[in-house]
């Protein structure tokens, strides 16, 4: 239980950093610095010869970090029988948005930065951050309610 608020907060912070990296990729022109996906120049880790390649790879690595943290949080929430129903729905929505976001990110590379996937990638990223923030607040609230409720339950004489 105590892990969920910390996981949620860490994941939300990671999503925020990922959005900042995405903005840097967009505004520095690094969007196609690595022209293939899912590999990078046919490799898992590209040669980091230029700052644009390094920035684009950092954005990809950030996406992987967000995905891992999101799966960790979803596992913690869905394995907990007493998890708040609204938190479960938010985490499920996050996973759906994350899948959509990764798919859009790949389609940007495959379509050579076509307008629709690029714009939709930005919008879904903002929706993902908002959903993560609400889930973080919900996880924190649920932890406090459980802690207070648990303390009250034991403090009341039978």
Per-residue model confidence as pLDDT tens digits over 37-71: 999 999 999 999 999 999 999 999 999 999 999 99
Furthest-apart CA atoms within the chain: distance in Å:
70
Region of poorest pLDDT, from 2-6, 15-19, 126-130: 2-6
With a cut of 80, say whether residue 3 has pLDDT above it.
yes
The contacts of residue 98 (CB under 8 Å, 6+ apart) are 66, 67, 70, 128
CA distances 76 to 1, 51, 73, Å, are 8, 37, 5
Distance CA 122, CA 138 (A): 24
CB 61 within 8 Å of CB 99: no
């Amino acid at each position: 239980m105590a892990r969920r608020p910390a996981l949620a907060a860490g994941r939300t912070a990671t999503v925020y950093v990922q959005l900042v990296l995405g903005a840097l990729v967009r505004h520095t022109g690094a969007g196609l610095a690595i022209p293939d996906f899912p590999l990078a120049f046919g490799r898992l880790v590209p040669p980091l010869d230029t700052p644009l390649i390094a920035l684009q790879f950092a954005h990809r690595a950030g996406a992987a970090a967000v995905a891992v943290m999101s799966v960790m949080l979803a596992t913690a929430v869905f394995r907990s029988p007493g998890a708040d129903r609204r938190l479960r729905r938010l985490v499920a929505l996050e996973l759906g948005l994350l899948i959509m976001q990764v798919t859009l990110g790949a389609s940007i590379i495959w379509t050579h930065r076509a307008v629709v996937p690029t714009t939709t990638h930005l919008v879904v990223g903002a929706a993902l951050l908002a959903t993560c923030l609400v889930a973080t607040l919900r996880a924190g609230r649920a932890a406090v309610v459980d802690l207070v409720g648990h303390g009250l339950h034991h403090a009341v004489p039978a």
